[in-house]
Amino acid sequence: MSSDADGVTKSDTETDSSPEAKLAAQVADLEARLRSVSAAYRQQSDEIKATTERIERNARLREEVRRGEIVAAIFEPVENLHRAIQPLGPVAPEAAHGLAMVHQQFMTALRGLGLEEVGTEGERFDPNVHEAIHSQPVLHAGQDNTILSVFSVGYRNGKQLIRAARVVIGVYSEERGEG
């Protein structure tokens, strides 16, 4: 029991039920609820953002696959056009030149869809995108497993390999390199 200035005693329960104490308790309760709602809002916002990013990533992946399918479907006829041009050169140079222009337009359009060449001289051999048709001894260790020449260029669209590059690679042997 406590006494005030007038000497009147009040119990502890009466002190806790004062209007100030009630308001302070309400404020604390409202602050806790606000923090809880804010945390739930942030979590919901983060989930929406993650879902949006996942949907966009999946859409980009589907678009890349679709472009790859289109490029793969058109690629072989374009390559056949290229093969047909070569023997025409000596026989009908004007026709060969015209068809070469059409072939170049096709290749430009395919590159616009994401087609890229793989397999250039000096590049490291990668069995995932290169096909070694021959190996050749080299004198320097730095040329080991390196593309020395390209028999036919390879192509890929994004991560999809359309055709492996057919290449000649260097093989270093210490016995040869030192001699």
Distance CA 31, CA 13 (A): 24
* Architecture field, domain 117-179: Roll (2.30)
Mean pLDDT of 126-136: 93
List of residues 6+ apart from 96 with CB closer than 8 A: 85, 86, 88, 89
Structural domain boundaries in the chain: 10-113, 117-179
List of residues 6+ apart from 102 with CB closer than 8 A: 81
**Torsion region of 137: left, alpha or beta (phi above 0 gives left; psi -120 to 50 gives alpha):** beta
Q: What are phi and psi of 73, to 5 degrees?
A: -70, -35
pLDDT in tens, 16-60: 679 999 999 999 999 999 999 999 999 999 999 999 999 999 999
Orientation of helix 19-91 relative to helix 93-112, angle to 10°: 170
Q: For position 179, what pLDDT does the model report?
A: 45
